[in-house]
C-alpha cells in the first residue's frame, strides 16, 4: 500500500491565508459561494461550448448528447489546448460577477436557506 505525501500542501496553507490582493479576493469570493458557482458553471460551459462550435463551424448540434460526443471527436475536430484554456478562463471570469452578487446577497441575509449555498 502506497502512502500519499500531504506535507508540502499543508505547509502552504498558512501562506495562502495571509495572501492579499485582487486575485486572492476573487478566489475568496468564489469560495464563499461554491455551490452557487457549481450550479452555474455547468450550463455556462454548455452554452460556451456551443458558441465556440458555432464560431468555428457555423453550426451547433441541437441534441442533448452534444457534450458527451465532444470526447469522441476525431483528432482534427478537437479543440486545441490554448482554445480550451481560453474558454476555461472566460467561463471562470464571467462567473465571478454573479458569484460576487450572490456573496453580497448571502452576507446581507444571514438567516434562512441561503447560508447553505
Residues 52-74: tens digit of each pLDDT: 878 877 766 655 455 556 666 66
- Would the CA dihedral through 12, 14, 16, 21 be positive or negative? negative
pLDDT of residue 106: 81
0.85 exceeded by pTM = no
Nearest-angstrom CA–CA distance, 117 and 114: 5
* Residue 32: C-alpha distances to residues 26, 58, 62, 94, 110 (Å): 10, 38, 35, 17, 13
- The answer on pLDDT for 90 being more than 80 is yes
- Would the CA dihedral through 59, 65, 67, 72 be positive or negative? negative
pLDDT of residue 115: 61
* Residue 33: C-alpha distances to residues 2, 23, 62, 64, 79 (Å): 35, 16, 31, 28, 30
Amino acid at each position: 500500500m502506497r502512502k500519499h505525501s500531504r506535507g508540502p500542501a499543508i505547509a502552504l496553507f498558512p501562506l495562502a491565508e495571509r495572501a492579499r490582493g485582487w486575485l486572492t479576493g476573487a478566489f475568496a469570493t468564489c469560495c464563499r459561494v461554491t455551490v452557487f458557482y457549481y450550479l452555474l458553471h455547468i450550463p455556462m460551459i454548455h452554452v460556451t461550448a456551443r458558441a465556440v462550435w458555432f464560431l468555428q463551424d457555423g453550426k451547433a448540434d441541437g441534441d442533448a448528447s452534444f457534450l458527451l460526443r465532444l470526447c469522441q471527436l476525431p483528432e482534427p475536430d478537437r479543440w486545441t489546448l490554448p482554445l480550451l484554456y481560453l474558454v476555461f478562463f472566460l467561463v471562470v471570469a464571467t462567473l465571478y460577477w454573479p458569484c460576487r452578487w450572490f456573496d453580497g446577497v448571502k452576507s446581507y441575509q444571514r438567516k434562512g436557506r441561503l447560508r447553505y449555498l
